[in-house]
Structure 1
Amino acid sequence: MAGGLVPRKEEAGRDASRTLQWPREVSSVLSAQLCPFLRGVLAHSVSFCFGSSSLRKQPKILCAFLSTCHPGSPRRVTSARREVRDLNRTFPDNVKFRKTTEPCLQETLYNVLLAYGHHNQAVGFCQGMNFIAGYLILITNNEEESFWLLDALVGRILPDYYTPAMLGLKTDQEVLGELVRAKLPAVGALMEQLGVLWTLVVSRWFICLFVDVLPVETVLRIWDCLFNEGSKIIFRVALTLIKQHQEFILEATSIPDICDKFKQITKGSFVMECHTFMQKIFSEPGSLSMATVAKLRESCRARLLAQG
């Protein structure tokens, strides 16, 4: 299957050459339910295709990264202290991540995050990465594949989301604000009237890619499309949630009220019925091209940089 995947070139904007063009038969079912086995096969194909050709020749590269981080080295100690604080909060209700479980996936998660921090030192370790890596480990049950899928998300599909300045994340939150003003002007006007910053209500959606925000199967279905369609899927999901609950959101009369309503709209039958939800994200927001997203990103990024 991996031989049928090629980098997508035709889309303008930040996702160019960072998403994959799946065979038509595969692409047509990505918004439909995938069984765990098929999802694992596709994850393996994606992890292989996103690894550079030189690194693919080293199948044990994750082990090599780990071996260079000796237990006593300052790099390992500093990195470990930051990671362990988050590891203990990663899926505490999932039995596979409990310390009493053998084997405990916290060790696998630690290895993946430590190796990735060494591999991509511009990012290192950032809040939210533990949840993403944890999901990838649950999907693949493989450290190496999880490592490369994490690299695909953090280094290619969502560049600058997890750097210290988080400029990509901040930019995309502003892009969502522009899209809401254009497509859902009543909500956009209320946000401006109340003086609500978009980061207050959607930062967790974006930085965790909806992990621990939406139900597990819904998140997995979103991720299937994220690897295929690129980061515009995040905007489609956010716009669908807001549009579906527009009247409820418009009842808000204060900043705490609207923050609470944005938490509530991620729960309930609408997001639990993942097949219907996935159909909605491709119909409710209307047209949303990568060219449009790229143009908005350019203007929002310039504005953020000008603000310092």
Structure 2
Amino acid sequence: SGHHTPCAGGPFSALTPSIWPQEILAKYTQKEECIEQPEFHYDEFGFRVDKEDGAEPNSSKLLGIPLTEEPQQRLKWQAHLEFTHNHDVGDLTWDKIEVTLPHSDKLRSLVLAGIPHSMRPQLWMRLSGALQKKRNSEMSYRDIVKNSSNDETIAAKQIEKDLLRTMPSNACFSNMNSVGVPRLRRILRGLAWLYPDIGYCQGTGMVAASLLLFLEEEDAFWMMCAIIEELVPASYFSTTLMGVQTDQRVLRQLIVQYLPRLDKLLQEHDIELSLITLHWFLTSFASVVHIKLLLRIWDLFFYEGSLVLFQLTLGMLSMKEDELIQSENSASIFNTLSDIPSQMEDADVLLREAMRVAGSLTDVAVEAQRRKHLAYLIADQGQLLNAGTTVNNLSKVVRRRTQRRKSGITSLLFGDDDLEALKAKNIKQTELVADLREAILQVARHFQCVDPKNCSIDLTPDYSM
């Protein structure tokens, strides 16, 4: 049957070559010979585009324009990479380019304008820190796969159930024989094994599947590690979802600050926004916006981290604020909010609005809000934690121990060299507060057990400052 290649701009043409579904491509190539037509029509990302298929957000504008690469844009990137990284004369090849790219205003403006699609795999790996993780890891991906290949674990069984639910309308993931499915299985099992405190979290499947469309399996795995360890706060994907829940409270606070009219509306109608937005944050928008828009969002997300999730959400809400305010009732407000991401059609318009509304938002401001809201959240959930529970690893996701690490005391006293000082200090303090609170609760519970007279004492901490 040979190896079939997609036509430029045709079905599957935007995907990494190793994931091209050869059986379907063969049918496209044989069209002239009238052998067998493909069952569905597919776009360049492998998504079905039949009229009756509602799995992909049907934004006409995005579906209509093929993904093209601006030669001008590519030249700007090449010039930047040569100027910044390459002092040799001669051809610039990826192996000569640094493992990480130093942040600069110039690089940020290039990222905002969009990365040329053919350069995304290499640049995403460098912007996110994934390439550095891949190079520095004590354990190879192959070893991680070997160690996590047990079919009998709870995580493995849950992953198996979810494999075909993840991206059913994409030819690479639509059935058990699809080329992407074993890759997704290995990545999700590998993550569940490498991060025992997290195990398997459903939100990760959609992100991993989206990455697999554009990156080779091993690179997609290290990108997932970069997201889990660096780009979002700890406990984002843990069973409690503590990190992503905290961010919903932070978002609600930012709406008060940046979109006061919307804040008033949400209060009047008593709408719990997190029911809608938690999923956006958990999947870094992978499950909610059109894939063309996702690529542009991820260009920025891999460069700047979770700050972008807030800025883009505020940008989207701002674009629909007038429509929301004119809504008749709570149900229509809720529905409009839920539909917002699928109605976003123009990446440049969205990014401009996000920066206009929330461009002034900084990591330091978000971090301060996170500490406060995490403390409130722990207080609220304090009643739910039984005496034996401790709040695990709010500071940093911990990998399975495959190497010698500094002792906890050494790290606490002298810090880890590779953490940005301020961020690390803030997060460490949050963890200490959480641990201290837990220790105090356990001591208090001990005295309640010893003397029933103490049972009436309220153990809820007062965080008002």
TM-score (norm 2): 0.57
Q: CA deviation at 1:128?
A: 1.2
**Which of the residues 153, 162, 182 maps onto 1:107?**
182
Q: CA deviation at 1:27?
A: 3.0
CA contact (8 A) 1:116 1:124 kept: yes
Q: Quick check: 1:188 aligned with 2:263?
A: yes
CA contact (8 A) 2:187 2:217 kept: yes
Match for 1:119: what amino acid?
L
**Which of the residues 299, 318, 330 maps onto 1:224?**
299
Q: CA deviation at 1:288?
A: 0.4
For residues 22 and 94 of structure 1, what CA distance do their matches in structure 2 show? 35
Match for 1:180: what amino acid?
I
Q: CA deviation at 1:70?
A: 4.6
Partner of 2:111 in structure 1? 30
Partner of 2:333 in structure 1? 258
Q: CA deviation at 1:106?
A: 0.9
Match for 1:48: what amino acid?
L
Gaps of 5+ in 1: 7-19
Q: Which moved further from structure 2: 165-174 or 211-220?
A: 211-220
Match for 1:147: what amino acid?
F
Match for 2:207: what amino acid?
I
Match for 1:90: what amino acid?
T
Residues 87-144 of structure 1: CA deviation (Å, up to 9, x unaligned): 1111111111122765x2011000100011111111111121100001111121x111
For residues 193 and 266 of structure 1, what CA distance do their matches in structure 2 show? 23
Partner of 1:155 in structure 2? 229
CA contact (8 A) 1:109 1:133 kept: yes
After TM superposition, the runs of 4+ consecutive aligned structure 1 residues lying more than 4 A away are: none
Match for 2:235: what amino acid?
D
CA contact (8 A) 1:95 1:101 kept: no
Q: CA deviation at 1:298?
A: 1.2
**Which of the residues 37, 48, 52 maps onto 2:131?**
48
Q: CA deviation at 1:208?
A: 1.3
Shift in alpha-carbon separation, 1:128–1:197, aligned structure 2, 3 A: same
SS across alignment from 2:214:
helix
Q: CA deviation at 1:261?
A: 0.9
Return the structure number with greater relative CO, CA threshold 8 A, min gap 6. 1
- Sequence identity (%): 23
Q: Quick check: 1:206 aligned with 2:281?
A: yes
Partner of 2:144 in structure 1? 65
Match for 1:68: what amino acid?
N
Matches within 5 A, 1:271-290: 271-290=344-363
Match for 1:83: what amino acid?
I
CA contact (8 A) 1:31 1:278 kept: yes
For residues 213 and 322 of structure 2, what CA distance do their matches in structure 1 show? 37
Shift in alpha-carbon separation, 1:286–1:100, aligned structure 2, 3 A: closer
Shift in alpha-carbon separation, 1:54–1:33, aligned structure 2, 3 A: closer
Match for 2:285: what amino acid?
F
For residues 123 and 52 of structure 1, what CA distance do their matches in structure 2 show? 23
Match for 1:295: what amino acid?
A
Partner of 2:372 in structure 1? 299
Match for 2:353: what amino acid?
K
Q: CA deviation at 1:279?
A: 2.4
Q: Quick check: 1:83 aligned with 2:166?
A: no
For residues 174 and 326 of structure 2, what CA distance do their matches in structure 1 show? 41
SS across alignment from 1:95:
coil
Match for 2:372: what amino acid?
S
Shift in alpha-carbon separation, 1:199–1:5, aligned structure 2, 3 A: same
Q: CA deviation at 1:154?
A: 1.5
Partner of 1:17 in structure 2? none
Q: CA deviation at 1:35?
A: 2.4
Q: Which moved further from structure 2: 83-92 or 110-119?
A: 83-92
Q: Which moved further from structure 2: 61-70 or 157-166?
A: 61-70
Gaps of 5+ in 2: 1-93, 382-465
Q: Quick check: 1:246 aligned with 2:321?
A: yes
Q: Quick check: 1:132 aligned with 2:132?
A: no
Q: CA deviation at 1:52?
A: 6.8
For residues 295 and 320 of structure 2, what CA distance do their matches in structure 1 show? 22
Q: Which moved further from structure 2: 249-258 or 104-113?
A: 249-258
TM-score (norm 1): 0.85
Q: CA deviation at 1:264?
A: 2.5
Q: CA deviation at 1:300?
A: 1.0
For residues 116 and 274 of structure 1, what CA distance do their matches in structure 2 show? 31
**Which of the residues 245, 263, 272 maps onto 1:170?**
245
Shift in alpha-carbon separation, 1:70–1:275, aligned structure 2, 3 A: closer
Q: Which moved further from structure 2: 37-46 or 295-304?
A: 37-46
Match for 1:42: what amino acid?
L
